[in-house]
Every structure is written in C-alpha cells, then in structure tokens.
Amino acid sequence: MQTPAGTLALKVGGPTQLMLERVGGSCYPIHPLWLRERCRDAASMDLKTQQRLADPSDIDLDVKIVALAQPAPGSFRIKFSDGHEALFSAADILEEAALAPNSHDCPAPQLWDGTLGELPRARWRADPSEAERLSWLQAFLTLGFVIFEGVPTQPGSVLKVGAMFGFTRETNFGALFDVRSTPNATDLAYTSVSLDPHTDNPYRAPVPGIQLLHCLVNETSGGLSTLVDGFAVAESLRAHDPAAFAVLANTPVRFKYIDAHAELTASAPPIELDVTGALKSIHFSPRLDFVPLFPPETLDTYFRARRQFDQRLRAPDFEIRFLLGAGDLVMFDNCRLLHGRTGFDPSEGLRHLQGCYIDIDGPRSLYRVLRRCGAQHGSLRRSA
Ligand SMILES: [Fe+2]
C-alpha cells in the first residue's frame, strides 16, 4: 500500500518482517517494538481516549514478530513473541511514518517578507461554517497571521474572537488589555511612540503563543501596524551569516518586566530551535533583554550577532504595514512573527485597541478536529 503522495509504501519482507519503503530512497524493516506499542486493540489501549493501558517501556526490548498475515488488502494481522496479537491498518502506519520528526501534522509555515502583497483577510462571522473556519486556520498556520474585518466594536469582542480559536491566556494585564496612549504609562505600548518589531512577553514562562489586537477606534493617520516574519529573517541570517545565527540560537538571554505588582523574568535564546534544528520560537524585545555577563570575547560575538539580526528585523525588506481601522482585528503567532507600529499624533484623535492572548496550540487543535470531521476549506480573500 502507498500513501496518496506515493512516497511511502509498506511491503512484507518475509514471514516475520514488515518493511517501510521510501520510494526512490531507503527501505528498512519496521522495528517490532514500534509496532507493538501501537497496538490499538482493547487489551492495549482504552478505545475511547486512545490512551495506552500499559507503560510501553515495560514491553520486552527484544520483542519480535512471530507471524504476519494480510487478512484483507490494507490490513496486517501481527503476532508478537510476547503472545499478543493485533490487527494493524496500513493507512494508520503510513500516516504516522509520513510525519517528519518535528511535524505537527498541520500546514507548514510559508515564510514571507516585505513583498507579501496580498494579506490574508476575512470577513468576521460569529457563526462561521466549518469551511470558513478551516480557511481562516489555513491562512493563520501558513502565514502566521490573519486579519478579520467587521468585528463588532463593542469592548470585549476580542475575547469572543479568541474563544473561537483557543483558550484565553490571562496574565497580570488581565484577560484583555487596552492599547491607547495614557499618561504615566507602565509600558511603551501605552504611549504614542513608534514600536520596533518585537515579540510580546518574552519575560513570561510560557510565552503567550498567539496575540489578538482589535481596533475599536482609530482617528489618527499614523499608528500603522507592522508585522515581520521572524522565521524568514532567522532563515536569512542562517543562510548569510551562520555563525551569527548559531550564537543567537545558543545564548540564553534574560528578559524582565517589572511594575508595582509584578516582577517577571525568563530566559530564552533569541532564536529557539527544536531538537531537529528547525525554528521553534523567536524571543526578541530590545527594550527588555539582558544578556548575562559572559567573558568579553563571548559578548563580542553575541553583540555583533544581535545587531545583524536586529538590522534585518527592522529592514523594510521584511516588514509589512497596514492600517487597522475600527472593526479590524489581527491575530498573529507571537512565537514566529514580530509586531510593532509606527508612531502617531494623539492630538489627531483617539486610537484604541484591545488585545488578548490565547495559547499556541488552540488553532492547531481546531484544524485537526475540523479535518477529522471532513471539512473542506474554502478560499480566503487576499488583499493588500
Ligand atoms: Fe507588543
């Protein structure tokens, strides 16, 4: 049996061997223990929760396949040396074998830069079809953001939009926060100055994964929202200056926030990788970062690398700008994208946004559930 893409196939390698074949590539026997711990019968797992009933580390490390049969096309009956016997679906084995080690079985990111002409925009509907939700999620998961238009401008609406995709991450700023210029601001976000690209709350553990910003009023001509794909910038740095990339991926930086009621601190490298070396998260906020006191030569290389990264992040080559008008809401991946805004003149009028955070895994979970239900996604309008 082959996967739809035709890149993987299962074949019987002998009376006690099942082989995985990568078309045009490698072919190897599937480890018996890998199969044994995937038995999906009622003796091995709770069929309702699909959770194992026993610890797989207790399975004999030398477990073997002692009999292999194909009762029907696309299924295998396997008997193991510990006496257990189970039926396997070839489709299930291939589906899991097709996953890359760091795959989240969701649409892969499509990196973008300042030439991204058409922005993912959608008309907000409080009761969307499954196809609409899937198209919103597709845009969010690939590009890292989506802009909704026509979100009711009643205060608190941002929480309703967030609830469509995940669970609100309440912080010391509350369930939602207001972004407008105020006297005696505790954060520069609450002034009218321009904000360079940054990720929010790198001082928090865990970092809020997704941010939503909803414009209730904007009577100013400035205050454009800016977004930068941090993954695209990081990959550009990896390609052009691998040494700088390596320094930023391996230097823990301490981030700190302090006000009258909270003192938050967390450490993370500016470019966080997963165990395969793929990009996992960007932590970057030049107003809040404090590198530890390493020896001078180490700091020399760090400061040079940080400058390289920062200059790329602020370059117009990577940035997109757009105006959030009343009723517009942007939802973006705070682990991948950096956001900012241009300055504005508060004497022109009001500019009032409300924001909230939701956890990073909400949209991915919803995407999988909708796909499992068989929803087909429609098309999303893309416009500048
Ligand atoms: Fe921010």
Distance from residue 384's CA to the centre of ligand 1 (Å): 22
Our CA dihedral for 354, 384, 131, 2, rounded to 10 degrees, sits at -120
- Specify the pLDDT at position 277: 94
- Report in angstroms the alpha-carbon separations of 57 from 33, 40, 52, 63, 92: 10, 17, 12, 12, 22
CA 197–ligand 1 middle distance (angstroms): 8
Distance 179 CA to ligand 1 centre (A): 9
> Given this model, what pLDDT does residue 246 score?
98
pLDDT value of position 142: 97
For residue 371, report the distance from its CA to the centre of ligand 1, in Å.
32
The Å distance, Cα 107 to ligand 1 centre, comes to 26
Going from the Cα of 187 to the center of ligand 1, the distance in angstroms, rounded, reads 9
pLDDT at 1: 43
How far, in Å, from the CA of 213 to the mean position of ligand 1?
10
CA distance 158 to 80: 54
With residues binned 3-state (H G I as helix, E B as strand, rest as coil), the percentages for the chain, rounded to 5, are: 25, 30, 45
Find the 355 Cα to ligand 1 centroid distance in Å.
10
The alpha carbon of 287 and the centre of ligand 1 are apart by a number of angstroms equal to: 11
Residue 186: in which H helix or E strand, if any?
none
pTM comes to 0.89
User: How far is the centre of ligand 1, averaged over its atoms, from the C-alpha of 188 (Å)?
Assistant: 9
Residue 5: predicted pLDDT: 47
Question: At a CB cut-off of 8 Å and minimum separation 6, what does 37 contact?
Answer: 52, 56, 59
- Using alpha carbons, list the distances in angstroms from residue 256 to 203, 210, 240, 250: 5, 20, 30, 19
Q: What spacing in Å lies between the alpha carbon of 341 and ligand 1's midpoint?
A: 9
Instruction: For residue 82, report the distance from its CA to the centre of ligand 1, in Å.
Output: 56
- What is the per-residue pLDDT for 257? 94
In angstroms, the CA 70 to CA 8 distance is 18
**Residue 80 Cα, ligand 1 centroid: separation in angstroms?**
55
Predicted pLDDT at 44: 94
What distance in angstroms lies between residue 157's CA and the mean position of ligand 1's atoms? 19
Q: Mean pLDDT, 10 residues at a time, over the chain (384 residues)?
A: 65 93 88 96 93 95 96 95 96 88 85 95 96 96 98 98 97 94 66 89 97 94 93 98 98 95 97 95 95 96 98 96 96 98 86 96 96 77 68
How far apart (Å, rounded) are the C-alpha atoms in residues 265 and 259? 12
pLDDT at 4 (0 to 100): 46
C-alpha 349/C-alpha 190 separation (Å) is: 15
What whole-number distance in Å separates Cα of residue 189 and Cα of residue 340? 9
Six-digit token pair at 341?
A: 């805004």
Cα separation, 139 vs 182, in Å, equals: 34
d(CA 293, CA 295): 7
Distance 138 CA to ligand 1 centre (A): 24
Residue 175 CA, distance from chain mean position:
21
Ligand 1 geometric centre to CA of 340 (Å): 6
Q: Scan for tokens 């973008």, then name that residue.
A: 112
State residue 102's pLDDT score. Answer: 74
In this prediction, residue 2 carries a pLDDT of: 43
Ligand 1 centroid to residue 339 C-alpha, Å: 6
Q: How far is the CA of 338 from the centre of ligand 1 (A)?
A: 8
**Pair 176, 355: CB distance under 8 Å:** yes
Query: How many A from CA of 220 to the centre of ligand 1?
Result: 19
